Structure 1
C-alpha cells in the first residue's frame, strides 16, 4: 500500500508544503475534514500500513511531526488512523487486509476506539451475526471518520477487536459533551453501539490481541511524535516573536529560550530513538517509549510557559497560533497515567541486566 501520489520519499515533502500553510492560521475548531481530505489526496492515509525499513519509520516520524505542528486535532486523527490500519494489517485475514487496502485507496479514514463507560462494551454471537451492546466515549472523530476499530468483551471474557462501519448511522453519535478548551476539532464524543449487528468478517484476529506487547505500549511513540511537532511549532512562533519584536537582545529572554531549545531538541532525540526501537521491537522499546512520554511532556510544559511569558497578553488572543497550540497541546499532553508510565520505565531500567549497552539509557 504505497502513497497514491508520488513515492514515499516525496510524501513528507508534500505534507511539509501543506503543513507550512496550515501553521500560519488557525483552522476552525471543528473536525478538520478539509485538511484530512488533503492528506488523503497526497497519499498520506494509504501510507505506513507497514514499516519495512528505517527509511519508512523515519518518513512516518517526520509526517507525524509535521502534521502535529500544523494542527494537533488533525494529528490525533491521523495517528489513530495509522494505528488502526497497522492493527488490521497485523492481525487481520487476507480478506480483511484486502478490504483495508480498498478503503485506503478510496481515502477512507479509520480510528481506534478503546475507551468506554461502565459497563464495558460486549459482543455476543447471534443467529444473524454478532450483536454489539454498549458505547465508546472519547471516540476521536465520532461522526466524521468512516470506520472504527473497537474493543468489545466476548462471552468468554476475551477482548475482541472489531472493525465497524461507523459512517453508516450518524444518529448514534453524541458530541454534545465534548466541551473542552483544546483539541475541539477531534470531536471525541460518544458512539452508541447498542443493538448493532456485525458479520463474522468484522472480527479482527483472536481475542486479547489489542493489548499485546510490545505493540500496545511501544506504539505510544506515534502520539509523542505528534506532540513533539506541536512543541517545535510553538518554539518557532516564540522565536519569531523575539526576532520581530527585538526582544532577542534581552539576555533574560535569550536564557529562557535557550532552555527551551535544549528541552525540545532533547525530546526530538528521545522520540527518534523511540520510533526506531518500537518499530524494530527492541527489548528496551517499551521502557524507552514510556520515558519518552514524560520527556516530551516536560518540553511541552516548558515551551508553553516560556512562550506565554515572552509574548505576554497577545499570546492569549483566540487568533494567536500560540494560544491555539497551547490549548490543544495542554489537553493532548494529558495522556493516561503519565506518572505510572515513568514509574514503569524507571523500574524496567533498574531491573535491566545489560547496562553495558548504551541503548538502554
Structure 2
C-alpha cells in the first residue's frame, strides 16, 4: 500500500500491452487524487482520444476505466460519466447544435438520468426545434463543476427523452448537498433545478433507454467497480508481502483468501473480455443487451463485495483506521457499488430469464 508506488494498469483480456500513454495518465491521476478540477481536466483530455463502446475497442475502454479507478475510485467516478456522455452524443447520430463549444469534446460532461420521489424534470417544445426544461433532477454528481450534461426529462405524452444542456446557462441552479459519507467525498451528488432552461434533444422519445449503448454504459460502470476491486486485492497482496519481509509469513487463511481473490479477478476479467468482444462483434446490440448488462453488473458487484469482505477480515481495523489511501478506497468503493440495485436487479434479470432470454 505504498502511496508512491507506480500505478499499474488493470488488464481486461487485451492481447497487447497497454499503451505507454496509459501509464503516464495513471501517474497523473495519482498526483491529482482529491483535486476535483484537476481530475475533471484529465477526464476532458482523455475524452478526446478514448475509445467508445461498440466501435472495436470496448475492452480497451474498460481497461482505461478500470485502471483509472484502481488508482483512485473518485477519479473513475469523474471519468466514466464524461466518457459515457460523449458516447451518448455520438450514438445519437448528430452533434449539430449541442450547447458546449464547437464539438462535444469541448468541456466536461455528466450524465443525469436518476429519478427521485417528489422531484420531476419536464421538457416542453420551445417552437424552434429545441425544448425548455423546468423542474428538478436528483443525484447530479459534480454539476456545479461541469460544463454540460446529458439528462433525461419527462415529456407531455408520458414518455421520457434525453437532452443536452449547458449547465452554465441562466436558470440552472445547483444545490450543494450535505454529504456526510466518508466515501466519494470529492463527488457530491446534489439536486439541480431548471427554470426555463434551453435544451437540445438527444434522440427521440425513449431512445436513450432503448439504444444498446444504454446497456454498454452500464457495463462500463461495472468495469470501474472491477478496477476498484483489483486495487483492494493489490492492497491485500502488498500487505502480506510487507509482513513477510518483516518475518510474519501469511497463514493458511490469508493465503486461501488471496487465492480466492485471484480466482475471482481472473474469472471476472475473462467475462468482461468476452463481453467486450461480443459488443464489438455486434452480438449485444439488440434486446439481449440489457440482460447481459444485468449479468455483468451483478457478477462484478458480487465480486467487489466478496473481495472487500475477505480483505477487510484479514487486514483488520489497522489500515482502515490509519492508512488513508486504503481507507479512502474502501469507503469510496463501498458507496460506488451501491449503484447496483442488488436483488432488485436480479429480480429484473430473473423476469427476463423466465421469458427465455438466457443461454442455458
Q: TM-score, normalised by structure 1?
A: 0.82
Residue 112 in structure 1 maps to residue 111 in structure 2: yes
Q: 1:226 and 1:172 mapped to 2: Cα distance? A: 29
For residues 334-353 of structure 1, the aligned pairs below 5 Å read 334-349=338-353, 351-352=355-356
Deviations 1:10-57 (A, max 9, x none): 98532333325645x8932xx62213323434x44443346422xx21
Whether the 8 Å CA contact 1:133–1:196 is kept in 2: the answer is: yes
Three-state SS of the structure 1 residue aligned to 2:103 is helix
Residue 37 in structure 1 maps to residue 41 in structure 2: yes
Q: 2:97 and 2:53 mapped to 1: Cα distance? A: 15
Shift of 1:181: 2.4
Residue 52 in structure 1 maps to residue 52 in structure 2: no
Equivalence for 2:89: 88
Q: 2:221 aligns with which of 217, 220, 223?
A: 223
Whether the 8 Å CA contact 1:278–1:289 is kept in 2: the answer is: no
Equivalence for 1:142: 143
Gaps of 5+ in 1: 1-8
Residue 298 in structure 1 maps to residue 302 in structure 2: yes
Gap change, CA 1:171 and 1:291, over 3 Å in 2: closer
Deviations 1:57-99 (A, max 9, x none): 1210110111111122221221111221111112242524797
Deviations 1:280-308 (A, max 9, x none): 34254332321221221222112212222
Whether the 8 Å CA contact 1:19–1:66 is kept in 2: the answer is: yes
Equivalence for 1:235: 233
For residues 173-188 of structure 1, the aligned pairs below 5 Å read 173-188=174-189
Whether the 8 Å CA contact 1:153–1:160 is kept in 2: the answer is: yes
Whether the 8 Å CA contact 2:142–2:188 is kept in 1: the answer is: yes
Three-state SS of the structure 2 residue aligned to 1:139 is strand
Whether the 8 Å CA contact 2:100–2:147 is kept in 1: the answer is: no
Deviations 1:175-214 (A, max 9, x none): 2233322122222111111x23316xx1222111111153
Three-state SS of the structure 2 residue aligned to 1:219 is helix
Deviations 1:310-336 (A, max 9, x none): 222222136432211111111111125
Q: 1:93 and 1:171 mapped to 2: Cα distance? A: 25
Gap change, CA 1:97 and 1:269, over 3 Å in 2: farther
Q: 1:51 and 1:217 mapped to 2: Cα distance? A: 11
Gaps of 5+ in 2: 1-15
Whether the 8 Å CA contact 1:15–1:63 is kept in 2: the answer is: yes
Residue 19 in structure 1 maps to residue 26 in structure 2: yes
Q: 2:71 and 2:347 mapped to 1: Cα distance? A: 32
Whether the 8 Å CA contact 1:214–1:278 is kept in 2: the answer is: no
Q: 2:256 and 2:356 mapped to 1: Cα distance? A: 37
Whether the 8 Å CA contact 1:221–1:289 is kept in 2: the answer is: yes
For residues 68-83 of structure 1, the aligned pairs below 5 Å read 68-83=69-84
Whether the 8 Å CA contact 1:181–1:328 is kept in 2: the answer is: yes
Gap change, CA 1:197 and 1:285, over 3 Å in 2: closer
Whether the 8 Å CA contact 2:177–2:190 is kept in 1: the answer is: yes
Gap change, CA 1:347 and 1:265, over 3 Å in 2: farther
Q: 1:332 aligns with which of 319, 330, 336?
A: 336
Three-state SS of the structure 1 residue aligned to 2:144 is coil
Q: 1:163 and 1:322 mapped to 2: Cα distance? A: 37
For residues 142-221 of structure 1, the aligned pairs below 5 Å read 142-168=143-169, 172-193=173-194, 195-198=195-198, 202-221=200-219
Q: 1:235 and 1:169 mapped to 2: Cα distance? A: 46
